[in-house]
Amino acid sequence: MKRISIFLFFALTLVGMHHAHAQGLRVGDRAWYTVRGGLFAGVNQSFHNGDVPLIPAADNVFYADGNSTNFIFGVHGEKAVTRHLVLGLRITFDQMSGDMDGQFKDPFRIADPTDPRIVYDLVRDQTVEYTLQYLSVGAYGKLYPLGGPGLFLSGGFHVATLIKDDFSHSATIIEPEWAMGASAMSLTGEIEDVNGMRYAASAGLGYDFYFRYGFLSPQVMYEFGLSEVIDASYADSWKIDNVRFVVDLTFPIP
């Protein structure tokens, strides 16, 4: 629901901007059809779905899901084919880190320190922080229903290589009461069986603002993760989807 609300809000905003902006003030053919390049940056809300392990190892028994906010940036280049179609390439430094937590009952029980015959369920508050960074190369297209520049729909396909992966896990006892607050030794390190490549598809909505030296184009995109984070049976459904708000700054290339 949160992701749908983001899209609806942005779509309504762009429709209002379309009527408010002087769309009749058209950019000349030379400025529109020249090859363009530039920079972009934005905010990335990552949603970790599926079997996300609390400890990235085959003996893990606890799973959760979660989300986190990250920042992304990169460079892009594009070329208008017609007034209604633009094709481009994008290189992105992608951060898709995430935090997962929850209260879990361990598969074993703990004995009372004063009477070993009395045993209790052991419940711990567990947290894992995953750091995942990728370098992504993507091809995209922008469709302008009313002619460009202005309101556009975007779609693309992205291939990424992993450049950093690690995790940090901590656990604190919350039951039984007499052991509350005791912490296990923190676990840190690289992620076992991590998939070195990632594939994704995206769809988005944006708007071009033309100024003297180029275009300023805010857009929101939903990226669908097509590959698993870990290539192992104990976490074979862990994927990452992203909602992204980015701003492109594009200039003509002489």
| pLDDT (tens digit per residue) in 101-146 | 888 888 878 888 888 888 888 888 889 999 999 999 999 999 999 9
Report the phi/psi class of residue 175: left, alpha or beta, with left for phi > 0 and alpha for psi in -120 to 50.
beta
End-to-end CA distance of the chain: 45
Per residue in 159-179, pLDDT (tens digit) is 999 999 999 999 888 888 878
What domains does the chain contain, in order, with CATH numbers? 2-95+128-160+193-252 (2.40.160)
* pLDDT grade for 218, boundaries at 50, 70 and 90: very high
CA dist., res. 153 & res. 221, Å (int): 10
Mean pLDDT of the chain: 87
